Structure 1
Amino acid sequence: MNRTRTSPGPGVLLPVIDAPLRLIGGRLFDFSQEVAVMAIINRTPDSFYDQGATFALDASVLAAHQAIADGADWIDIGGAKFAPGAAVPIDQEIDRVVPVVEALRGSGVVISVDTFHPAVAAASIAAGAHVINDTTGVHDPAMADVIADSDATLVITHSLAAPRMPYPAPHYDDIAAEVSAFLLARVDRAVRRGVQPDRIVIDPGHDLNKTTRQSLELTRRLGEITGLGLPTLVAVSNKDFVGESLDRPRGERVEGSLAAAVVCILQGARIVRMHNVRAAVDAARMTEAILGFREPAYERHNLA
């Protein structure tokens, strides 16, 4: 059931977030009035966006430090892409992500690992990761056990297919209601296995087993997801629903991605997973300022 909404001004209604104060990786976030920007580092040779540009360890670490310099609050490290394809051996995925986690320890940002394998999650947490981003929504219940035995935060994402399997022509009778029901069920799965609710974040999974029209509708109705009362992450950056809406290839979707992120923030999203970090940070901070969540950096214009 959606929580009562609050209004920072005419025309804007924001959901109430349960336990908005979250200590993650030594940083205190107030998700009632703060947006975190999550940068994306892919240690894969076939990544969706950068096509392997950060596959090499030194390239991935350099990109992570650049993202931090550009204002990223979180770094999300992935060693296997979501898209269907041959499985990446677990040992190989660990070898890809753990060195990046170790290189970023002490950097002051939240370190997240994008994986659906409990063994990869356990190795990543042992190396210093603060968040596990499971794009299969705790498909394997053992993932919840790993999180419950740690201090890590768990991101539970909506997706319907088994890991790395195709899901052609997805159908939803009511996409917001069905995504909400899925997320609540998987949150319940995690909680029943010992994960504290104040260490859970949800993600509606834009484009994951969804068509462009379905992702657009989900964006329009994101308030029904954020209204569940948990901090909501959105991963809209350079997705196909942006490209197909604008007829833009990969690499030319920055403006559309920023527009989608801002629409989501206005409906209560509090973590935005983005490739183009500096632009995303500026968009998030400007939206916070408009909503009255933050003061201007300075004020000179038209002052005597």
Structure 2
Amino acid sequence: MFDYNKRTYIMGILNVTPDSFSDGGKFNSVDEALKHAIKMVEEGADIIDLGGESTRPGHIYVDVDYVDVDEELKRVIPVVKKLKEELDTPISVDTYKAKVADESLKLGAEMINDIWGLRKDKDMANVIAKHNAYVCIMHNQDGTEYDKDIMESIKEFLLESVDIAIEAGIDKNKIVLDPGIGFGKTYEQNLEVLKRLGELKTLGYPILLGTSRKSVIGNTLNLPPQERVEGTIATTVLGIRDGVDIVRVHDVEKNLRAAKMADAIYRG
């Protein structure tokens, strides 16, 4: 599905939630979700990442905001069906729940984007393996305390999750890693991870970077989410310089243009 030597791939964000930090409630009907997905594909998205629960940092730790499996299925499954009917573009589903992953993959979704790195639901790795799907494994943790160098901790976490994936039977060539910007990290720690992204290439897997409109950008520029496009683009370009293979973004067209320029310089 991907040839990472060729170019950087663009993952367009499609939130079908009422409460996502940047675009909550805008696309939480099937028709609106499809319309936005088509727009992102027309702008150049290579993959659509569909999420039915807000996973903004800290959000899911609050029990009252937890979205149960049945509710997430109600949000996600009709949209997966519609997207597969109308689009040829690969679909990723952003979930850490095995049941949601299973039902989405049955309908033809190609990737599961798990913000808990296959750790939250013990059945997740087996479900992904059963469907021979792609997986994006993200670093995450409760709190922001690290007992060792942060990049060493992130690499250790990711490799442990890779072991879980491979032991379950997930194809090694279908694993993507994400350092988890904004999750389990302070502002300063996020900047350090972004500065040291290149170190993740030693792990031998494609890297996905998800910084779009996040608080690390907002806190730096003192801007609300919808005005963080230029800050996001800066991280896209610097990420490509450091070996990032996929960027997960809200603003597809602008980030694609920046990625094409960065690719011309860094990928040749």
TM-score (norm 1): 0.83
Q: Give the equivalent residue in structure 2 for 1:197.
A: 172
* Structure with a larger share of its residues in strand: 1
* Structure with a larger share of its residues in helix: 2
Shift of 1:291: 2.4
Q: Give the equivalent residue in structure 2 for 1:224.
A: 199
The structure 2 residue matched to 1:89, chosen from 51, 55, 68, is: 68
The alignment-based identity, stated in percent, is 40
Shift of 1:112: 0.4
Q: Give the equivalent residue in structure 2 for 1:4.
A: none
Q: Give the equivalent residue in structure 1 for 2:23.
A: 50
The structure 2 residue matched to 1:134, chosen from 114, 120, 144, is: 114
Q: CA offsets per residue over residues 120-172 of structure 1, 9 Å max, x none?
A: 000000111000000011112310000111121011000013xxxxx3x5446
Rounded to whole Å, the distance in 2 between the matches of 1:49 and 1:148 is 32
Q: CA offsets per residue over residues 7-49 of structure 1, 9 Å max, x none?
A: xxxxxxxxxxxxxxxx3xxxxx211232110000001000111
Shift of 1:188: 0.5
For the structure 1 residues 172 and 243, does the alpha-carbon distance in structure 2 shift closer, same or farther, using more than 3 Å as the test?
Answer: farther
Structure 2 contact 176–206 (Cα < 8 Å) conserved? yes
SS of aligned partner of 1:88: coil
Rounded to whole Å, the distance in 2 between the matches of 1:40 and 1:170 is 29
Structure 2 contact 146–153 (Cα < 8 Å) conserved? no
Rounded to whole Å, the distance in 2 between the matches of 1:190 and 1:93 is 24
Shift of 1:292: 4.6
CA RMSD, aligned part only? 1.3
The structure 1 residue matched to 2:216, chosen from 213, 227, 241, is: 241
The structure 2 residue matched to 1:99, chosen from 78, 83, 92, is: 78
Rounded to whole Å, the distance in 2 between the matches of 1:125 and 1:48 is 26
Unpaired runs of 5+ in structure 1?
1-22, 24-28, 162-166, 294-304
Q: Give the equivalent residue in structure 1 for 2:243.
A: 268
Letter in 2 for 1:40: I
Q: Which has the larger radius of gyration?
A: 1
Shift of 1:108: 2.3
SS of aligned partner of 1:273: strand
Rounded to whole Å, the distance in 1 between the matches of 2:24 and 2:267 is 38
Rounded to whole Å, the distance in 1 between the matches of 2:154 and 2:217 is 20
Unpaired runs of 5+ in structure 2?
none
